[in-house]
Amino acid sequence: MIACPCALVISIPLGFFGGIGAASRKGVLFKGSNYLEGFRNIHTMVFDKTGTLTEGVFKVTEVKPLNGFSEEEILRFAVEAESHSNHPIAKSIMDAYGGSVDESRIQSYEEIPAHGVRAIVEGREILAGNDRILHMGGYEIEHDTCHLQGTVVHIVIDRKYAGYILLADKVRQEALETIEGLRAAGVEKMVMLTGDGKEAAEIVSKELGMDLFYAELLPQDKIAIVREFEEKMDRKRDKIGFVGDGINDAPVLMASDIGIAMGGLGSDAAIEAADVVLMKDRLTGLLDAMHISRRTRRIVFGNITMALTIKGFFIIFGAVGLATMWEAVFADVGVAIIAVLNSTRILKT
């Protein structure tokens, strides 16, 4: 009876269930106890930029027409090209335009992942996107915007560079607090990955004190960088976490040890691919998750140590004839109850 493992069998899974429950109260959804256990071992935390470290709410700061086009023309064509997109940049351009879109003018629309959009508007081909869209297959359009600081949307009309729209994004209010908190918790390296231009990425990286940043990335580039970090780590102990929100982040969320998605504003694909979801869309949920992960482990190992110590003590007493049935009942049922009650402490985190 003393050797019955009830206390261990009950308290260990109950401890992790309690940790998952405590995290859910804080708006952090763990999809399994293995992710709760592994969260405390994150060595490198990798962040997407737009919508994760920044609010993802862009504001048009400049509309620059070139090569004979007017400001009204490039803004109107940009709005018509972006009218079917749900990307934050597209919505910001629509807000800046302010007018209505004549859908009958748009003959075709194509969204090119990690590049931008291509549309045919009244027989004219419109390209709207980042620098990569100007150099993709079949296109090689010259421009000079490397001096700009911010997110640039290039506009091309019938393969002629028409100008650009410059947008600015705002860093999340809690981003710096979260980065500093993770460092204090022992996360050794902070990395930012983004498909945006180098200038915009560098501004956010410096403001938040990131260790490294990589810009102008495609989804497969993000996976390659995460794999590279994994090869340099102790795979038995260290973990790599990735925080993202967009549909382009889904592949790298699955490739990282612990994928973390922004639940409120994140895409369905990102939430489905993630192992942890921040339901309140606040980065400080990462600090809650780290604290609960470590507290859960302490309580679970406390239960294991207590159960083995008490059972070992009474087994010795029983072997020499000093333990009666009452001591045996306590060593079995009593220790199991104590372990259960100890596990409930996690819920008060």
List residues with catalytic annotation: 48
3-state SS class at 223: helix
Helix axes 6-25, 335-343, angle to 10 degrees: 10
263's enclosing H/E stretch is none
What residues does 240 pair with on adjacent strands? Answer: 44
* CB 82 within 8 Å of CB 117: yes
Length of the chain in residues, anyone?
349
Long-range contacts of 114-122 (CB under 8 A, 24+ apart): 114/195, 114/217, 114/218, 114/219, 114/248, 116/153, 116/154, 117/81, 117/82, 117/84, 117/85, 117/90, 118/81, 119/80, 119/81, 121/77, 121/80, 121/81
* CB 214 within 8 Å of CB 221: yes
